[in-house]
């Protein structure tokens, strides 16, 4: 199934590139407006070192933000499940915070954390924090009632029930949150680079656009897209293993 999906993806990408090249040939659009795929590929080869240098920064920002966002999100969801006080105080604040566009925070984060990697990492963290918390918390709340009744009958303490019953059962939901995070994290980092940065793929795209080097801008954009797809694929593999482990753990739990 994985090989078939890969082949389908390659076929779709090939068709899209051919249509793109045909559009450029038929319309005769100037390269500074829409460069053809051959021109973009040439720019990618000619500027490989420059693009790699900026891509390293963006990849580091995304990965650090993803790890920290997933960690803090998971800890928050667990704390919400443990503490009724946290549910009363934190949940309304989290819901209200979603009314504020995260992108609007980018200038403030740049002001607070500077033009370096820190503001972009925080931006990526914030943009994925709520999806991870909401999906994982929802999974913790939707544990099989039969298993919870069995644990209560056997005298299991709430914390043991949480970590040995609710947590394994909620891993599929946590995996869904991680897949969303893998999609959103590059967006957060690049938005932060657009607002203020001196390195990174987002900064390179703005720089190329300002100098009318549209082919370089497209090359940087496709490198970013390729990294996002690869990141999503890696996270999907990890989450599938988590789901299998979760299913095995739940099935091994004795039932009344």
CA distance 110 to 200: 15
Give 117: exposed, middle or buried? Use CB within 10 Å, 0-12, 13-18, 19+.
Answer: buried
pLDDT band at 218 (very low <50, low <70, confident <90, very high): very high
Same domain, 21 and 128: no
pLDDT attached to residue 247: 58
Same domain, 94 and 197: yes
Same domain, 16 and 129: no
Mean pLDDT of 229-238: 88
Number of structural domains (the chain) is 2
Same domain, 24 and 84: no
Residue 233, pLDDT > 80, answer yes
Same domain, 74 and 2: no
Same domain, 44 and 77: yes
Same domain, 89 and 64: yes
Where b means 16+ CB within 10 Å and e means fewer, 135-160 reads: bbbebbeebeeebeebbeeeeeeeee
Same domain, 98 and 16: no
Q: Which domain holds residue 10?
A: 1-30
Same domain, 140 and 73: yes
Same domain, 139 and 116: yes
Same domain, 163 and 232: yes
Mean pLDDT of 131-141: 86
pLDDT attached to residue 28: 81
User: What's the CATH number where 194 sits?
Assistant: 1.10.3720.10
Angle formed at CA 194 by CA 192 and CA 200, multiple of 5 degrees:
80
pLDDT attached to residue 89: 84
Q: Structure pTM?
A: 0.82
pLDDT attached to residue 255: 47
Alpha helices in the chain (DSSP H): 2-27, 37-46, 48-82, 84-97, 106-113, 117-141, 145-153, 158-161, 167-195, 201-210, 214-252
Lowest mean pLDDT among 29-38, 59-68, 127-136: 29-38
Mean pLDDT of 97-109: 78
pLDDT attached to residue 142: 80
pLDDT attached to residue 105: 81
Q: What is the pLDDT of residues 51-73, one digit of tens each?
A: 999 999 999 999 999 999 999 99
Same domain, 203 and 247: yes
* Mean pLDDT over each residue of the chain, to the nearest integer: 82
Angle formed at CA 16 by CA 13 and CA 22, multiple of 5 degrees:
140
Residue 120, pLDDT > 80, answer yes
């Amino acid at each position: 199934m994985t090989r078939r999906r890969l082949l389908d993806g390659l076929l779709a990408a090939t068709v899209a590139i051919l249509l793109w090249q045909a559009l450029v040939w038929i319309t005769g659009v100037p390269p500074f407006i829409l460069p053809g795929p051959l021109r973009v590929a040439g720019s990618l080869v000619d500027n490989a070192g420059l693009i790699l240098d900026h891509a390293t920064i963006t990849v580091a920002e995304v990965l650090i933000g993803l790890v920290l966002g997933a960690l803090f999100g998971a800890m928050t969801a667990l704390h919400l499940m443990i503490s009724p006080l946290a549910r009363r105080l934190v949940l309304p604040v989290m819901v209200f915070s979603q009314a504020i566009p995260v992108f609007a925070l980018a200038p403030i984060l740049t002001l607070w954390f500077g033009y370096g990697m820190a503001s972009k990492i925080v931006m990526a963290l914030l943009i994925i924090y709520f999806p991870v918390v909401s999906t994982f918390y929802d999974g913790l709340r939707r544990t099989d009632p039969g298993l919870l009744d069995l644990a209560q009958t056997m005298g299991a303490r709430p914390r043991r029930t949480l970590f040995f019953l609710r947590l394994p059962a909620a891993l599929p939901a946590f995996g869904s949150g991680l897949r969303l995070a893998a999609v959103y994290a590059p967006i957060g980092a690049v938005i932060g680079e657009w607002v203020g940065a001196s390195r990174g793929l987002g900064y390179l795209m703005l720089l190329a656009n300002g100098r009318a080097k549209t082919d370089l801008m497209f090359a940087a954009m496709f490198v970013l897209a390729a990294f996002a797809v690869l990141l999503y694929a890696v996270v999907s593999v990890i989450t599938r293993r988590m789901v299998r482990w979760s299913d095995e753990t739940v099935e091994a739990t004795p039932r009344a």
